[in-house]
Amino acid sequence: MSSWTCDGVPKDGKQYPGAFQHSPQENTGPDCTICGLPKEAMQAGKKPAKTVVAGSSSGGGNSSNLVPLIIILIVLGLGGAILAYFLYRPVRTPTPITTSSPSPSPVTATQGEFISRGEEILLESSPSKTSGATAFDQKNWEAAIAGYQAAVKQDPNDPEGRIYFNNAQAQKAGNSLVIAVAVPTTTQRDSAAEILRGVARYQEEYNQSSPPSGRLLEVAIVNISDSNQATALAQEIINTSEILGIIGYGIDPSSQEALKQYETAGLTVLSPLTTSVSQEGGKPTLKTIPIDEKANELLVNYLQGVGKTLTNYASQQQPYPAIVVFYNQASNYSQQLRMEIVNAIPGVQGKLIQQIDISSSDFDAKKSLEEAQQNGAKIAILAFNKDKVNQAVAIAKANQTLASPLLLLGGDELYNADLLVEGGDAISGIILAVPWSFSPTDPFAKDALDSWKGRVSWRTATAYDATIALTNAISQKPDRPSVNQAFTQGVILNGNTTNFDVFNDVPLVKAVKGNEGPKGSDYQFDPLK
């Protein structure tokens, strides 16, 4: 088949829900390797219907102000690495569901092992947590409070125990406000825990603030690790009328099906496929939008920012930087980041030495680095998804053996405890572009350090902001239709910790020696000054 070029914008007048605008990509197969559009979509047909694309000139003056919602940053942490191939295909339309006004029912009616407010342990267990869970299941609130309070004392860094402790107090008080947070507690425990810390911290603040209504906040944790359970879990949450809104979900196919169900049922979900933030009146305003209208290019715009930030930093370190890019051909997320980095290199008068696929069966970290260095590379950018942290460690260790090691740069998917623990001295000095960085002078960071007895990540900060937004909405009018209407019209985000100008200037962090990193590591990530 002859080669053809795709830019993600259909030319045949048809609609492709999974497609998104991107830099021109040359393809030789029947479908675009970036967005999944078929070759015929690039062939002019009838005049296409007008489509407004975020960041395009047709979107009006405000479109350029579109910035990523905090939840997008959360899911980048969870799901940047799970940006599956099927995401770029037309979304399967699930069977429409019919809903009535269900009466309140227990959250764990049929999915106890996946949904819990305190009856089940979804993260790490302990005797105190088990005791608390047993009491919670028996509705013995005093005993549940005692069990989970002991668990919090024993492990102050565990967010699950703290959420359940707060929940038990809310149950004792009665008539609580309930939200759910959907995270993969089985398959991505560390990232899930980071998000839950942000949720738990605001839950604690809200409940201790003597809410005007007197109704305390309760949080149901939903384990979305098993994609086969997605629709069943969504239906159960829909049927649980106490739950007034949800934070989380990813951008994978099973999440898309669940989001369709919630949309049909009128249940608000703050997710990357159903939310956007715009600057209105000088303030960031959060809105929910129908899933079919979501512009997938929000993620692309963020990755463009990462590419520009990393290459700009490279040029500051070395004029006319000579760069080798390592990426994972098996990951669409990694491929997209690679492309944005490659596209950004000419803008800093840099030179692309090589692009190396780490998924190749004959990949050898040391040989690849030596070859790149022989060809003139001075800087290596690791465009990896989260599942390839081990390869990043291997490259760092191989790089350490070179007579003149390359400068190592990477994206937020490498912001991971495993990199610091397993990488040891080899990762010293690595630079990562992330949406938020810990600073000892930042009020939220200082509070988190005291609360969790350790540093927190950007996932915690962004989850905290998300919880504030959702809680503020449900506390004013605690019913699903009102919450849905509030977010459709737009909710102003006040006092947020997240930098909403992240598209333009993604913060950089550096791995340095310190005693505030993860257990087992002598390193921590500090903001680059």
Return the residue matching tokens 């998104």: 20
Q: 300 pLDDT exceeds 80?
A: no
Residue 396, both tokens: 């760092």
What are the residue ranges of helices labelled H in 174-295? Answer: 189-208, 230-239, 253-265
Mean pLDDT for 116-126 is: 94
> Measured between alpha carbons, how far is 322 from 102 in angstroms, rounded to an integer?
62
Domain at 115-295+457-492: CATH code: 3.40.50.2300
List pLDDT tens digits, range 227-238: 888 999 999 999
Q: Which of 40-44, 205-209, 351-355, 401-405 has the lowest mean pLDDT?
A: 40-44
Length of the chain: 529
Q: Which of 152-166, 220-234, 451-465 has the lowest mean pLDDT?
A: 451-465
Q: Which CATH architecture has domain 299-437+505-527?
A: 3-Layer(aba) Sandwich (3.40)
Beta strands in 319-384 (DSSP E): 322-327, 351-357, 379-383
Tell me which residue of 80, 66, 59 sits closest to 331, measured CA to CA.
80
- Portion of the chain with pLDDT greater than 70, in percent: 74
Tell me which residue of 131, 213, 136, 121 sits closest to 167, measured CA to CA.
136
Tell me which residue of 344, 301, 509 sits closest to 410, measured CA to CA.
509
List pLDDT tens digits, range 418-429: 899 999 999 999
CB 377 within 8 A of CB 324: yes
> Measured between alpha carbons, how far is 341 from 382 in angstroms, rounded to an integer?
10
Q: 278 pLDDT exceeds 50?
A: yes
Residue 504, both tokens: 């333009």
> What's the pLDDT at 5?
82
Give me the torsion for CA of 15, 16, 18, 21, rounded to 10°.
-80
> What's the pLDDT at 344?
96
**115-295+457-492 with 299-437+505-527: one CATH topology?**
yes
> What's the pLDDT at 440?
60
Could you tell me the residue ranges of all domains in the chain? 1-51, 115-295+457-492, 299-437+505-527
Return the residue matching tokens 């669409």: 332
CB 224 within 8 A of CB 248: yes
Mean pLDDT for 354-368 is: 95
User: CB-based contacts of 289: which residues, under 8 Å, 6+ apart?
Assistant: 274, 275, 276
Through-space distance between the first and last CA atoms of the chain, rounded to whole angstroms? 50
Mean pLDDT for 219-247 is: 93
> Measured between alpha carbons, how far is 312 from 321 in angstroms, rounded to an integer?
10
> What's the pLDDT at 159?
93
CB 236 within 8 A of CB 109: yes
β-partners of residue 25 are 6
